[in-house]
């Protein structure tokens, strides 16, 4: 009756296909809406912090932030000349150091560069104490020439814009509420005296951020020195402000006696003449570095690219290797101990198996700290196991076994702690293997061993795979147990990461080590997903 060629219609007259699609879309949206809050929560509080950590492992802005001028000036320097850089670099360094010292950033930078070359930290601290005297020679001559150079207000009028000066006056008149306005450089002054204007800007902004008035604070001596360098050759026609007697001074300044900044630095500490220090600064100037990653595989940056560290400084590859090796040993011992138990549990009648299961689940539910402290108590030199062995006479009193604070302690304790993670997946796989297969194999003439090895074992391999990867992933990231029972020979890479976070404060290196560990774990996670499937993770029975 109706046209049979037309589309099938739903009750409301829309084509059925469209209507179904819409229902499906609505269903999808609803599912996503339910998931969204949690997904957002995990993304913000978990995934984002980890991404941030990964970024931190390559981040290196601190050098260019603290020494902006030096970093630019030192680019041209060629390390192969075996000589420290020339005067311009030291001039830039003096200006940067003055700002950094006032902001108390130079010690931070010193510790950062100290990770790469030892001694830099003390070099920066020492120079920081002396740098505010640099330029005093120029300052004295300027003041002798004209008292006007000593007044901070004159500098402000000359180098800042009229708007900034007005805002500053308003701020002063309003009782100095909050911080002084940020410096705005007068374009003319910036063109004629670029370095002086920039340094004065740093001065004014620093004073303002400290809550003080730029018109009251004494001008840094190094500013006079910079001005003395720039003024003689400057074209002053573009400078509009009339605070400092610049034009009048231009002639006399050319005849000023100037300080040798390079010599002054080398005088503070002769390390400033060392090529190595400058190489470090030059190598770590870029905003991003692979230095932390090279460090975490026992390499270092050098002018010729990456190279191995000296033998006696190599620790991380050993540590990674040890972490992998010990995790492997722990995984193997878990298979060895877990397989018989899982087999027994899977083949006993349900009532008995449930009873024995409690013996597996109780350690699983017991606090990690409890189990670790139990092992600490048991394994000590004066602990229960050693006392027992001495008591029954298996071990002499003087040669008690060293079971703790070494790799043995870590392996014993961690095997115990991770064993349930092996037994539970193995058990759930073995539960699904029909016992009739074994009987069939035996009735066909197989010996016990053949029946087990050729029929049962291959079917239990997925369980072994799942358990092993789980145990391996868990064990390579372990921190608490190795820290307590591992001593120095039984610690993992995680203990080193924790050390760099909380003791040495070398966070970049900690982040790089963490990123490598994460990459290893993710590879195994991916394998786990392929073999077992993430949706099939089960907890307890």
Partner 1 sequence: MTTFMTAADKAAASDNTWNFTVPLTAAFGAVLGLLGGQAAGLGVWAGLIAGAVIGAALAYALSVHLPKKIGRWAAIAVCAVLGLILGGLAGVLAGAIMGALLGWCAYWLSTGAYRSGVPPYATTGQVLWHNAFKFICGFIFFFLIAPIITIIPLSFNAQDFFTFTPEMLALDPAGYSLKHYNDFFTNPDWLRPMKNSLIIAPFATIISVSLGTLAAIGLSQSHVPFRRGIMAILISPMIVPLIISATGMFFFYSQMGLWMEDNLGISKSLSGYIKVILAHAALGIPFVIITVTATLVGFDNSLTRAAANMGATPVTTFFKVQMPLILPGVISGGLFAFITSFDEVVVVLFVGAAAQKTLPWQMFTGLREQISPTILAVATVLVAISIVLLTVVEMLRRRSERLRGMSPS
Q: Which of residues 15-34 bind partner 1 (CB under 8 A)?
A: 24, 27-28, 30-34
Q: Which of residues 110-149 bind partner 1 (CB under 8 A)?
A: none
Minimum Å gap between C-beta 537 and partner 1 is 6
Q: List % helix, strand, coil for the chain (3-state, nearest 5).
A: 70, 5, 25
Nearer to partner 1, 262 or 496 (CB): 496
Degrees to nearest 5, angle at CA 206 with 204 and 212: 80
Burial of 519 (0-12, 13-18, 19+ CB in 10 A): exposed
Enumerate the β-bridge partners of residue 293.
Answer: none
* Alpha helix segments (H runs only) across 160-268: 162-173, 187-192, 194-209, 221-230, 246-254, 261-268
Restricting to residues 300-329, which ones interact with partner 1 according to CB under 8 A? none
Comparing CB distances to partner 1, the nearer of 309 and 431 is: 431
The correct pick among 151, 498, 505, 531 for binding partner 1 (CB under 8 A) is 498
> Which residue lies nearer to partner 1 by CB, 188 or 338?
338
The contact pattern for partner 1, residues 360-399, with x = CB under 8 A and - = no contact, is: xxxx-xxxxxxxxxxxxxx-x-xxx--x---xxx------
Euclidean distance between CA atoms 147 and 205, whole angstroms: 24
**Phi, psi (rounded to 5 degrees) for 217:** -80, 145
Query: Is the Cβ–Cβ distance between 520 and 496 less than 8 Å?
Result: no
- Phi/psi-derived region of residue 82, left when phi > 0, alpha when psi is between -120 and 50, beta in every other case: left
The stretch near partner 1 (CB under 8 A) out of 36-44, 167-175, 260-268, 279-287 is: 36-44
Residues in region 422-451 near partner 1 by CB under 8 A: 448
Which stretch in 52-60, 126-134, 183-191, 221-229 sits in contact with partner 1 by CB under 8 A? 52-60
Task: Find, among 427, 422, 410, 507, the residue nearest to 473 by Cα.
Answer: 422
CB of 424 to partner 1, least distance (A): 12
Q: Site mask, partner 1, residues 55-94, x = CB under 8 A?
A: -x--------------------------------------
- Phi, psi (5° rounding) for residue 488? -100, -30
Interface residue with partner 1, options 16, 20, 43, 144 (CB under 8 A): 43
Between 156 and 510, CB nearer to partner 1: 510
Q: For partner 1, which stretch binds (CB under 8 A), given 48-56, 141-149, 266-274, 290-298? A: 48-56
Count of beta carbons in the 10 Å neighbourhood of residue 395: 16
Question: Helices 221-230 and 194-209, interaxial angle, to 10°?
Answer: 160
Give the nearer residue to partner 1 in terms of CB position, either 90 or 375. 375
Total residues contacting partner 1 by CB under 8 A comes to: 93
Q: Map the footprint of partner 1 across residues 196-255, applying CB under 8 A.
A: none
Read out DSSP for 394-419?
A: SS-STT----SSSHHHHHHHHHHHHH
Q: Which of residues 453-492 bind partner 1 (CB under 8 A)?
A: 473-474, 476-480, 483-484
């Amino acid at each position: 009756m109706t046209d049979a060629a037309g589309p099938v219609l739903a009750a409301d007259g829309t084509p059925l296909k469209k209507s179904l699609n819409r229902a499906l879309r609505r269903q999808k949206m609803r599912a996503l809406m339910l998931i969204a809050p949690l997904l957002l929560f995990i993304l913000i509080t978990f995934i984002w912090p980890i991404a941030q950590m990964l970024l931190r492992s390559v981040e290196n802005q601190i050098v260019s932030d603290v020494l902006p001028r030096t970093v630019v000036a030192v680019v041209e320097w060629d390390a192969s000349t075996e000589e420290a850089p020339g005067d311009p670099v030291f001039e830039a360094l003096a200006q940067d150091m003055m700002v950094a010292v006032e902001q108390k950033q130079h010690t931070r930078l010193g510790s950062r560069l100290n990770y790469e070359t030892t001694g830099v930290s003390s070099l920066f601290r020492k120079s920081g104490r002396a740098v505010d005297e640099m330029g005093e020679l120029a300052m004295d001559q300027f003041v002798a020439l004209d008292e006007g150079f000593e007044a901070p207000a004159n500098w402000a009028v000359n180098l800042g814009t009229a708007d900034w000066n007005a805002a500053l006056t308003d701020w002063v008149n309003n009782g100095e509420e909050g911080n002084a306005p940020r410096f705005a450089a007068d374009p003319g002054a910036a063109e004629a005296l670029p370095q002086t204007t920039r340094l004065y800007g740093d001065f004014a902004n620093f004073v303002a951020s400290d809550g003080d008035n730029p018109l009251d604070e004494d001008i840094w001596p190094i500013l006079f020195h910079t001005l003395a360098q720039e003024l003689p050759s400057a074209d002053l026609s573009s400078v509009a402000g009339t605070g400092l007697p610049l034009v009048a001074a231009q002639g006399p300044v050319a005849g000023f006696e100037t300080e040798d900044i390079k010599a002054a630095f080398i005088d503070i500490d002769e390390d400033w003449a060392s090529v190595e220090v400058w190489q470090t600064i030059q190598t770590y100037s870029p905003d991003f570095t692979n230095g932390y990653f090279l460090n975490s595989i026992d390499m270092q940056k050098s002018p010729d690219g990456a190279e191995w560290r000296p033998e006696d400084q190599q620790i991380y590859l050993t540590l990674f290797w040890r972490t992998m090796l010990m995790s492997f040993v722990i995984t193997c011992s878990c298979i060895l101990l877990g397989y018989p138990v899982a087999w027994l549990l899977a083949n006993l009648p349900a009532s008995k198996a449930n009873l024995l299961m409690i013996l597996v689940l109780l350690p699983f539910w017991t606090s990690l700290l409890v189990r670790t402290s139990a092992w600490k108590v048991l394994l000590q030199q004066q602990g229960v196991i050693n006392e027992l062995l001495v008591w029954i006479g298996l071990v002499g009193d003087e040669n008690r076994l060293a079971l703790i604070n070494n790799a043995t302690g870590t392996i014993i304790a961690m095997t115990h702690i991770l064993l349930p993670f092996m037994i539970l997946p193995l058990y759930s796989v073995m539960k699904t293997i029909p016992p009739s297969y074994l009987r069939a194999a035996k009735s066909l003439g197989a010996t016990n061993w053949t029946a087990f090895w050729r029929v049962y074992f291959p079917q239990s391999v997925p369980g072994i795979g799942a358990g092993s990867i789980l145990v391996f992933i868990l064990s390579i990231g372990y921190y608490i147990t190795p820290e307590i029972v591992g001593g120095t020979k039984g610690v993992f890479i995680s203990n080193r990461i924790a050390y760099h976070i909380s003791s040495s404060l070398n966070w970049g290196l900690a982040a790089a080590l963490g990123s490598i560990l994460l990459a290893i774990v993710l590879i195994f996670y991916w394998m786990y997903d392929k073999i077992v499937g993430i949706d099939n993770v089960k907890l307890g029975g």
